[in-house]
Amino acid sequence: MPQGSVPGQVAFAQVDSVSSMPTNGSTVGPGLLVRGRSFVIEGGCVGPSGGRFRLTTAEVSSAPRTLTEGELACGQAVRDQTSGVSDFSGPVQLAFISTDGIELGWLRVIQEPAG
């Protein structure tokens, strides 16, 4: 699993069901999604099959809105399978919503540079 954030990162999620302290966590940021700019979701996993994920808005003042959902197949990179242009500006949360087929996995949203 990658350590730390990369330039343009706006959200990160990880799942670990095999260690002595299993986790299924999500981190908002460090950046914010910007309306009209492209983003990609990249990640990978180890396990018998894979799982599903969801990207939602994460504003404290309103209910979360789903921006996109997708699948992560273990043994295959997800980058370029899931991308889009944001119709939202602000914080976002990336979360695994199904992890039965994942032992170790990670995902992150990267906002493409302006220009």
What global pTM score does this model have? Answer: 0.87
Domain limits, the chain: 9-111
Residues 54/69, Cβ–Cβ less than 8 Å: yes
> What are the pLDDT digits (tens) for 51-73?
999 999 999 899 999 999 999 89
Class (C level, CATH) for 9-111: mainly beta
Task: Compute how many other C-beta atoms are within 10 angstroms of the C-beta atom of residue 80.
Answer: 9
pLDDT tens by residue, 79-95? 655 677 888 999 999 99
In 10 A of CB 18, how many CB atoms? 11
